[in-house]
Structure 1
Amino acid sequence: MRQRMEPRTLLDFMGMAERLKCNMRHSRTAENRRESVAEHTYRLCVFAWLVKEEFPDCDMDKVMRMSLFRDLGEAVTGDIPAFVKTDSDREVEESAISNVTVMLPERERKELDALFDELEKAETMEAKIVHALDKMEALIQHNEADIATWLPLEYDLQMTYGEKECKADPYLAKLREVIRQISADKIASEGEERGQSYYIRKGVENMHLEEVAALLHRTDWAKDRTEELIRKSMENACPYGLFLSDCISEGGKDRQIGFARVLTDGVTTFYLMDLVIEEAYRGQGFGTIMMNQIMKENGHLYGMLHTQTAKAFYERYGFREIGNTKKTEEIYMEKPCG
């Protein structure tokens, strides 16, 4: 005979779940208050219900159960933002989940333990769907919040977070791309609301040579270039500059904080070089703003570049690795036309 759940056990577990209402997440709502873990869980379940018809071969009831209990461990640990969570934190969460499920009768305990094990392994399509939806729900919430509440690093996170998980299915990837575009539009609108506090210009006549040289001299690949070489390299290419207007830059004048060069014949091929953002402004979306403009004008062409550390960044724009060199640790990348 199946073990029945004693009323006290049921109420104790409900009390544990109540903590999800009290524990706050990093994300903020459109009304500028922090959301609770329970609120995130609720909308994750709504999300799973809305997409159920897109996955006719999956057990969407299981997806709903996984979504419902996915963050149960945070009743004990609280929410730890993904960008600061460590392996040690994950181990603590796993232990917390075990301490919670042990409260339940054997049947319910085994059911939840099996769900958490499946989520942890992330091998089934059901688990992959939940992980993708979980990350996209957080991205959606950030898009709904005032951009003034974003941390500097979240400008780039909105472009990259959850990308790997969403590759599990074309529909998930399509959803992720729409969310990414909304984020990009939000970032662009922020510049307009600030009175165009930043802007992009092209052409050697618009570049600030001394500031471009200062940017390049802080890189590993161009630290030895003279100003004369830099000037000539701009004259023989199409230089892009990202500028802060005097309303927010120091010194009361527009200042160049970003630079890139494009070599192109305009009809078949372009080569991207020297993309760099001043260190103090990295992680705030300015690299994305520059790259979006470059790809808007050149993305229909076959593209090439090489990089040492920004492979994942360029992969977002369709570039893929085609080779590398151990001597300089450079990765060569290309993107097809269109």
Structure 2
Amino acid sequence: MPGSGPTLEFSVAPARIGELTDLMRTAWWMSDRTPRDVAGLLEHSDLVITVTRRDTLVGFARVLTDYAYVALVLDVIVDESQRGSGVGAVLLDAVVNHPELTGVRSLELVCQPDLVPFYRRWGFTDAVGGSRLMRRSTDERLVTRPLAEP
């Protein structure tokens, strides 16, 4: 069917902020985001990537970076109905192959343990030397949540 394949974009139209907010709310760590929050994070992100299918937003990721040493990949999400369909791969390909990120020394992200094999396909590793993730947060969900979702 023509037009059924994924479409990649590097921006979010203001009219889609509600749709993006709804998609984000399906993930436990983003469940309380509001359209105003989402508009703010879009404004302050260095790169945003969306995937649509049949004009429906089905995937999103964003990046914060200094364009030289580190790029932090955040809020990677795929609509539950599209998981396993290649949307996540489209997002990650767009991130790791983005021309503004190809010279960045280190691409980093945080993920749940069950997604480690997925991210390994793009060369991400949990072997980070002696480094350890530390967090200071006012959001209790981010420091007390079990390792895997129920």
Q: Secondary structure at the match of 1:200?
A: strand
Structure 1 runs of 4+ aligned residues shifted over 6 Å read none
Equivalent pair of 1:240/1:259 in contact (CA under 8 Å): yes
Bigger strand share: 2
Amino acid at match of 1:263: L
For residues 110-163 of structure 1, give each alpha carbon's deviation from its aligned partner in whole angstroms, at most 9, with x where no partner exists.
xxxxxxxxxxxxxxxxxxxxxxxxxxxxxxxxxxxxxxxxxxxxxxxxxxxxxx
Amino acid at match of 1:315: R
**Does residue 319 in structure 1 map to residue 129 in structure 2?**
no
Equivalent pair of 1:204/1:235 in contact (CA under 8 Å): no
Residue of structure 1 equivalent to 2:50: 241
> 1:295 is matched with which residue: 79, 90, 96?
96
CA separation in 1, counterparts of 2:15 and 2:111? 23
Alignment of structure 1 residues 1-338 onto 2, 5 Å: 194=2, 197-205=5-13, 208-237=16-45, 238-244=47-53, 249=54, 254-297=55-98, 298-301=101-104, 302-308=106-112, 309-321=114-126, 322=128, 323=132, 327-329=144-146
Bigger helix share: 1
Q: Please state how far the C-alpha of 1:241 moved relative to its aligned partner.
A: 0.7
Equivalent pair of 2:25/2:32 in contact (CA under 8 Å): yes
For residues 145-201 of structure 1, give each alpha carbon's deviation from its aligned partner in whole angstroms, at most 9, with x where no partner exists.
xxxxxxxxxxxxxxxxxxxxxxxxxxxxxxxxxxxxxxxxxxxxxxxx945732111
Q: Which has the higher contact order (CA 8 A, sep 6+)?
A: 2
Q: Please state how far the C-alpha of 1:206 moved relative to its aligned partner.
A: 6.8
Amino acid at match of 2:84: G
CA separation in 1, counterparts of 2:17 and 2:3? 25
Structure 1 stretches lacking a partner, 5+ long: 1-192, 331-338
Could you say if the C-alpha distance between residues 272 and 315 of structure 1 is closer, same or farther in structure 2, counting changes exceeding 3 Å?
A: same
Equivalent pair of 2:6/2:87 in contact (CA under 8 Å): no
Amino acid at match of 2:93: N
Q: Secondary structure at the match of 1:218?
A: coil
Equivalent pair of 1:207/1:241 in contact (CA under 8 Å): no
CA separation in 1, counterparts of 2:97 and 2:28? 28
CA separation in 2, counterparts of 1:224 and 1:299? 33
Amino acid at match of 2:120: E
Q: Secondary structure at the match of 2:110?
A: strand
Equivalent pair of 2:12/2:50 in contact (CA under 8 Å): no
Amino acid at match of 1:303: L
Could you say if the C-alpha distance between residues 277 and 266 of structure 1 is closer, same or farther in structure 2, counting changes exceeding 3 Å?
A: same
CA separation in 1, counterparts of 2:133 and 2:15? 31
Structure 2 stretches lacking a partner, 5+ long: 135-142
Amino acid at match of 1:230: V
Equivalent pair of 1:258/1:278 in contact (CA under 8 Å): yes
CA separation in 2, counterparts of 1:211 and 1:320? 32
Equivalent pair of 2:62/2:74 in contact (CA under 8 Å): yes
Alpha-carbon RMSD? 2.5
CA separation in 1, counterparts of 2:14 and 2:5? 17
Could you say if the C-alpha distance between residues 265 and 283 of structure 1 is closer, same or farther in structure 2, counting changes exceeding 3 Å?
A: same
Equivalent pair of 2:20/2:57 in contact (CA under 8 Å): yes
Greater Rg over alpha carbons, structure? 1
